[in-house]
Structure 1
Amino acid sequence: MIRSVLFDTETTGLDPRDGHRVIEVAALELINDLPTGVTFHRLIHPERDIPEDASRIHGMTLEHLKDAKVFKLIAEEMLAFMGADEMLVAHNAPFDFRFLNAELTLCGLPALGAHRMVDTLAMAKLRFPGMPNSLDALCRRFAIDLSERTSHNALLDCKLLAEVYVELTGGRQRGLSLAVDESGGQIAQYEAKDGRVSRPILVGAEEAERHAAFIQRLKNPIWLKDAEAETAAVA
C-alpha cells in the first residue's frame, strides 16, 4: 500500500518573494494513487491585504478570512497530514511548493523536499504536448464534471485533480476484469481494493457477437488460445 497526498493552495498573489501569502490549503489522501476520501482543508488569514485581482480568481476577500487562523497555527497539522516521506501531488507543483515552503520558513519549520514533488502539469505536457493543460482543460478532455467550479477553490480543485490524476496514471484501468452475470452476459467490472463499490458495465449480446466476429478475423488470436488451454485443462 503506497500513500501519497494531493494538495492545492490559494494565495494573495503570484510570488511569495513579493510578500504574497497562502490563504487556503486543501489536501486529500491517495492510496495507490486513488483517493480514499480522507481530506485536510484550512482557510488561513494572510496577515496582509488580498488584491482585487487575486479575489477575482478565488472569490475570497479579507472579510471571508477574518476568523481564520494564521499559517503558523495550522502548519504542524498540515505537515502531519502530509506525512514525512509521502509523495506530494499538485498541478503546477513548483508554485504550491514555493508558497508553502516560504510559509514554513517564516514559521521556522523544515521545507518540503523537492524530491517529494509530483507535478501533474508536467505529466500532462508530456502526454498532450502543445495542447492546453490547465485543470479546466484536462477536466474537459477527460469528461470530468466542471459544473461546480465557478471559481478557484482549493478543496474542489483537489477533488477534480484527483480524477485527472487517475486518468493521467491510468488508474481507472487497474483491476479491470471480465465477469459473467446471471444471464450469461459479460460484465466489465472494477475490482477496487480500497473498499469502493465497483460500477459494473454490462456487455450486451450484440457487442459480444461483434467481438467474437472480430476475433475470428485475427490470425492466431491469444483469446482463443487461452480458451483452448482452459478446455484442455478441464478435459
Structure 2
Amino acid sequence: MKLVAIDFETANRDPNSACALGIVQIENNTIVHEEIFLIRPPSYRFEFTNIHGIMWADVAQAPTFKQVWTQISTRIELADALVAHNASFDRRVLYACCNLYDIPQPKQKFICTVALARERWNLYPTKLPDVCRYLNITLNHHQALSDARACAEIVIAAAAVER
C-alpha cells in the first residue's frame, strides 16, 4: 500500500493560507521519501507565527501552492490514501488551496491518525504530542515535516499492531 502523510501549517485562519507543507511517502510500511515546502500564501497576513515560527519574510519569495503542486501532484495521485493528524484540518487546507488555483481536488480517502490512535491504542487525549509520546516518536511539533513524519510513523506502528 502506498500512503502519503501530509501536514500543513497555515499563515492565518483562511484555509487557503498554507505557508508550509510536509510530505512523507510510505510504501509497504516503510518511509521512502520526505519533503518540506515553504509556500507563499495569497495574503501576507500571518496570525500563527507564534505557533510555527514562519513569517511573511520567510515565504515572500517561496513558490505558491500551484507551483508546489507541480512537484507533489504525482506523489499524491499515486497514493492509495493520504494520512494526517486531525485529517479534517489538512483536508480542508488541501482542498482550499486546490480550489484557489483551479486544481482538481485529490480523490484519495484520508486516514486520520487521531482516529487511528483511539482505535488501536484507546488513547486519550490524542493530540499529536500525546500520541508521539505514547509511541516514543520524536516530534518537533508544528514543524510541517516533523508532523508529517510523525503521522507516517503512527500509521506504520498501527500496521504493526494488525500483524
Contact 1:8 1:25 in 2 (8 A): yes
Deviation, 1:128, is: 4.5
Deviation, 1:70, is: 1.3
Deviations 1:196-230 (A, max 9, x none): xxxxxxxxxxxxxxxxxxxxxxxxxxxxxxxxxxx
Q: Distance in 1 between matches of 2:40 and 2:85?
A: 23
Matches within 5 A, 1:1-235: 2-16=1-15, 20-36=16-32, 38-52=33-47, 54-84=48-78, 86-113=80-107, 115-129=108-122, 131-146=124-139, 149=140, 151-170=141-160
Contact 1:105 1:111 in 2 (8 A): yes
Q: Distance in 2 between matches of 1:10 and 1:68?
A: 14
- RMSD between aligned alpha carbons? 2.1
Return structure 1 stretches of 4+ with deviation > 6 angstroms. Answer: none
Question: What is the TM-score when the length of structure 2 is the normalising length?
Answer: 0.88
Q: Distance in 2 between matches of 1:144 and 1:109?
A: 34
Deviation, 1:85, is: 5.0
Contact 1:40 1:81 in 2 (8 A): no
- Distance change in 2, residues 1:137/1:85 (3 Å): closer
5+ residue gaps in structure 2? none
- Distance change in 2, residues 1:130/1:119 (3 Å): closer
Q: What is the SS of the residue equivalent to 1:97? A: helix
Structure-2 residue corresponding to 1:177:
none
Q: What is the SS of the residue equivalent to 1:26? A: strand
Contact 1:24 1:154 in 2 (8 A): yes
Deviation, 1:122, is: 1.2
Q: Distance in 1 between matches of 2:143 and 2:137?
A: 16
Contact 1:97 1:112 in 2 (8 A): no
- Distance change in 2, residues 1:50/1:124 (3 Å): farther
Q: What is the SS of the residue equivalent to 2:39? A: strand
- Distance change in 2, residues 1:157/1:130 (3 Å): closer
Which structure: larger Rg?
Answer: 1
5+ residue gaps in structure 1? 175-235
Q: What is the SS of the residue equivalent to 1:127? A: helix
Deviation, 1:129, is: 4.4
